[in-house]
Amino acid sequence: MKKRIAILPGDGIGPEVCESATKVLNEIGRLYNHEFEFVYGDLGGVAIDKTGNPLPEETLTICRQSDAVLLGAVGGPKWDTLPGSQRPEQGLLGLRKQLELFANLRPVTIYDALAEASPLKSEVVEGVDLLIVRELTGGIYFGEPRERRGEGKQETAVDTLVYSREEIERIVRKGFEFAKERRGHLTSVDKANVLESSRLWREIVEEVAKDYPEVTYTHMLVDNAAMQLIRNPRQFDVMVTENMFGDILSDEASMITGSLGMLPSASMSQNGPGLFEPIHGSAPDIAGKGIANPLATLSSLTMMLTFAFQMPEEATALQNAINDVLAKGHRTADITNDQTTAISTNEMTEKVIEAL
Ligand code: NAI
Ligand code: MG
């Protein structure tokens, strides 16, 4: 198959981990007879430096003309003094909005070889394998009105949590679809004891559930979900939730593993290209040193192969290669206590290619 991939390396370690990804994709192409074409675009700080705009029109065009988008990371101290609306993060927010990426997927898996990295007890985290499906383009982060009113002691501020039936239904359906492909259990997270939008959410879950008789589901209040993620994370298969709850829960869930450099994410739209990226940032403290852990980005590639290209065999091969390399004890600096044996970004990439 022939696939065109927009690569947006961004800032800091972004270009380093993206280079690792293109090398691995080339190897997968060679092994499985696919042609992966890479088209590069600027996003974030690097785009601000070149054009003054964190999301140049040309970058959007490149993304729209591709089958998938791979993003490194954006941001860094160099741009921290810019006003909010001109910062690198605006490039990423704008891209999500423009590509209508309404479903954000954050898998949380424990690599047995890294279970000791978790801040939780290993008997709690062993075997954790969950997927958070977060609504990404609606809810309180976008609702209107959002404003300040009055002044002095009477000053108030308002944000609006609004969801349409259509917005809820499409994300809930995604949740059921993933649960069906995985272990068949969906936890829908809401705050239906307080919020009207959550009561509509719950109604829609009940309706959509009728189309997925093979999936068992439960409703869980968000405060309880926050607790259960720490108490017994193994109980979860797929969690589906609205934007703000998902923002908070997915950061909480990522810490179950204790390995920021390992975790991938994907953001999907209804028909357009999906965006695949590591969850970590641009890591300015280690940028340019060639020591960044590329595995979160390579793991994002497994999601691209699965969800964007329908190449499950290739995705499994890559996942197995990552597992293999870790089982053999190869570690970048961020996932080992013994810095004398830590390997570089390039070395880790070569190990994965060998394992493939
Ligand atoms: P960060 O994720 O960049 O770094 C946190 C810590 O983890 C640092 O010590 C870093 O060296 C380490 N780390 C992260 N990824 C690593 C990897 N692959 N290998 C080895 N070590 C790794 O988060 P931080 O420091 O809060 O933010 C730095 C910049 O990144 C900021 O400008 C922030 O706005 C931006 N950022 C961008 C994101 C994105 O593009 N999606 C997400 C989060 C932050
Ligand atoms: Mg967040």
The domains located in the chain, with CATH, are 1-99+273-356 (3.40.718.10), 101-264 (3.40.718.10)
From the CA of 183, how far away is ligand 1's center (Å)?
Answer: 32
pLDDT digit string (tens) for 276-287?
A: 999 999 999 999
Question: If DSSP codes are grouped into helix, strand and coil, which group holds residue 218?
Answer: strand
Predicted local distance difference test score (pLDDT) of residue 354: 98
Q: Judging by beta carbons within 10 Å of its beta carbon (0-12, 13-18, 19+), is residue 51 exposed, middle or buried?
A: middle
Report the catalytic residues.
Answer: 141, 191, 223, 247, 251
Residue 14 marked ligand-binding: no
Using a 6 Å cutoff on CB, does residue 9 contact ligand 1?
no
Question: If DSSP codes are grouped into helix, strand and coil, which group holds residue 25?
Answer: helix
Residue 45 marked ligand-binding: no
Closest CA to 45 of 73, 64, 17: 73
DSSP string computed for 140-185:
GGTEEEEEEES-GGG-EEEEE----HHHHHHHHHHHHHHHHHTTSE
Predicted local distance difference test score (pLDDT) of residue 355: 98
Predicted local distance difference test score (pLDDT) of residue 111: 87
Q: How does pLDDT run along the chain (356 residues), one tens digit per residue?
A: 999 999 999 999 999 999 999 999 999 999 999 999 999 999 999 999 999 999 999 999 999 999 999 999 999 999 999 987 789 999 998 999 899 999 999 999 998 888 888 899 989 999 999 999 999 999 998 899 999 999 999 999 999 999 999 999 999 999 999 999 999 999 999 999 999 999 999 999 999 999 999 999 999 999 999 999 999 999 999 999 999 999 999 989 988 988 889 999 999 999 899 999 999 999 999 999 999 999 999 999 999 999 999 999 999 999 999 999 999 999 999 998 889 999 999 999 999 999 99
Using a 6 Å cutoff on CB, does residue 75 contact ligand 1?
yes
Contacts of 5 (CB under 8 A, 6+ apart): 25, 36, 37, 38, 39, 66, 67, 68, 69, 70, 304
Residue 134 marked ligand-binding: yes
Supply φ then ψ for residue 13, to 5 degrees: -80, 0
From the CA of 125, how far away is ligand 2's center (Å)?
Answer: 22
Predicted local distance difference test score (pLDDT) of residue 287: 98
- CB of 291 closer than 8 Å to CB of 50: no
Residue to mutate (ligand 1; options 55, 70, 282; most atoms within 8 A of CB): 282
Closest CA to 38 of 25, 56, 51, 57: 25
Residue 213 marked ligand-binding: no
User: Which residue bears the tokens 């390396």?
Assistant: 9
Q: How many CB atoms lie within 10 A of CB 147?
A: 10
Ligand nearest to the CA of residue 250, numbered in listed order: 2
Position in ligand 1 atom list of the atom nearest CA 80: 32
Using a 6 Å cutoff on CB, does residue 214 contact ligand 1?
no
Ligand nearest to the CA of residue 280, numbered in listed order: 1
DSSP string computed for 230-266:
HH-GGG-SEEEE-HHHHHHHHHHHHHHH--GGG-EEE
